[in-house]
A and B are shown apart, each in its own frame.
Chain A
Amino acid sequence: MRIGIVCPYSWDVPGGVQFHIRDLAEHLIGLQHEVSVLVPSDEETPLPPYAVSAGRAVPVPYNGSVARLTFGFLSAARVRRWVHDGDFDVLHLHEPTTPSLSLLTCWAAQGPIVATFHTSNPRSRAMIAAYPILQPALEKISARIAVSEYARRTLVEHLGGDAVVIPNGVDVDFFADAVPKAEWQGGTIGFIGRIDEPRKGLPVLMKALPRILEAVPGTRLLIAGRGDEAEAVAGMPAEVRDQVEFLGMISDEDKARLLRSVDLYVAPNTGGESFGIILVEAMSSGAAVLASDLDAFAQVLDAGDAGQLFDTENPDALADAAVELLCDPARLAALRAKGSSHVRRFDWSTVGADILSVYETVTDGSATVAPDERTGLRARFGLARD
């Protein structure tokens, strides 16, 4: 099958959507499919062989943060050429409601189009204003995928219609086979995420830490992620500060080894998550997971069956749950076992098969993807000569 995937965000900026697309493309190529990924990127950024650059992404303020987006006539022309040259059986767009490459492709192409909705942003003003323009483009999408039941619900509320739920994939064995590092073992709690992004919830964990240390002395907190380390521990007593270790940005291999080493992985996020891939990675590594009870997290953890949940943004609840778990090795082991078996449904072998089923369903009896030829004015009045 010839598959064209469109990535809306720059390849040089790491992000969940980009990683998902990279893994999906590589998984599909491994199954002997022909894959081309259209992505905005700078000239200098090295791209994998299957990726095609659609030009530079421009940083613009959008929806409260600075987004790097692609638009304009030049990009549109590149999109049309890519669609034309690719001769794809199916197009897979990601995040088609942001003003980006995906939306442009939706405009420029016709034929079987699959779209994945990753975030579950509340409906923005821009979207309401652009609705009449957006709707005709979104109508071309023949199959919608939402990454979680939560994302699907927001999609249905905001855009109407329906979507199938296919979770994000993880290479479970990559994490399961990682070798633990001795220096990260023995009474350790792990946290991975941006230190200076409050929605990742590190402040909540920091507030809970003194109480955890009081009940379980000697526990160490290992933090991986970029951000201001001094600010994160500011105002903490020295004996608490000594138990916190910053690892900075770590590679994928080290991330797997860290998750494999820690006794407990804590995800204190306070919002803005539509899936929670890190929880899946932690479960793949066989780490016991303690996470805030966001909708998306509760779903990934099977409503608390595969990992412990606590009241979001409540440091006391976090401390209580962590202490209870750390003092109960049997419960930790049970969570590990449950997580390891639960996580199989997120493995690429399963997720990839589901995505391929969607491709096959929409391409059944349908023509291939082609540029959407605009009807000329003459044709509109029935005057065009063949």
Chain B
Amino acid sequence: MTTYILIAVALLLITVYLSWTAGRLDRLHARIDTARAALDAQLLRRASIAQELATAGILDPAASMLLYQAAHAARQAEEEQREVAESELSQALRAVFAEKAQLEAVREAPGGADSATELGAAVRRVPMARRFHNDSVRAARALRRHRTVRLFRLAGHAPFPLAFEMDDGPPGLLVDRA
């Protein structure tokens, strides 16, 4: 009799543990979704400000075209090309704002000071959002690699989470606080 009770208790404990782990995994997936939404929002914000500046006629034509092309590509990119397109926008921004004169030109234009501040905030927040996203991806992957999770298929049909890898280095002048 005691054996049966023990077996029943053990089964109950195992079930509770599995259910708890599934709940944990579910929460991690939700965290990835929110982090990804935040990252998307920041990337879009950056691309829009870049496009605004490119079409405002403040920068020289070559810089404007370069920036417009990169911002446009980043906004239109398919999911598979997204990382590459966003990296190229980072490179374009770095190239265009490598000289202090360009940044000064933007700041002096009417309403340009606000745009410069917004761009500065956007290029700082993209790496932040990306770090938070990849951190949540790492946590979910660590749990999903767990033997129990794989054996009991606790992750269900949720796709295996992928980190967002891109070059998010901001233009030095825009983040220099000294």
A residues neighboring B (CB under 8 Å) = 110, 112, 136, 139-140, 142-144, 160-164, 341-342, 344-345, 350, 354, 357-358, 360-362, 364-366, 375, 377, 380-381
Contact = CB atoms under 8 A, between A and B. Distances in A.
A361 B139 contact: no
Interface in B31-45: 31, 34-35, 37-38, 41-42
Contact of B177 (A143, A344, A381): A344
The 4 closest A-B pairs by CB, nearest first: A345-B177, A161-B135, A364-B38, A380-B19
B46 interface: no
A143 B124 contact: no
A136 B23 CA distance: 10
A325 B20 CA distance: 62
B24 A361 contact: no
A142 B35 contact: yes
Nearest to B16: A380
A112 to B, nearest CB: 8
Contact of B34 (A142, A144, A342): A142
Interface residues of A, dominant DSSP: mixed
B121 interface: yes
Interface of B: 15-16, 19-20, 23-24, 27-28, 31, 34-35, 37-38, 41-42, 121, 124-125, 127-129, 131-132, 134-136, 138-139, 142-143, 177-178
B132 A341 contact: no
A345 B38 CA distance: 26
Given A361-B38, A366-B38, 17 more contacts: A112-B34, A139-B139, A140-B31, A143-B132, A160-B139, A160-B142, A161-B135, A161-B138, A164-B131, A345-B178, A357-B121, A362-B34, A364-B34, A365-B34, A365-B37, A375-B19, A380-B20
A300 to B, nearest CB: 14
Contact of B129 (A140, A160, A361): A361
Contacts of A357: 121, 124-125, 128
Contacts of B178: 341-342, 344-345
A381 B41 CA distance: 38
Nearest to B143: A139
A375 B31 CA distance: 19
Contact of A162 (B15, B42, B134): B134
Contacts of B127: 164
B132 A366 contact: no
Contacts of A341: 178
A108 B23 CA distance: 15
B15 A380 contact: yes
B177 A361 contact: no
B17 to A, nearest CB: 10
B124 A162 contact: no
B138 A361 contact: no
A267 B3 CA distance: 67
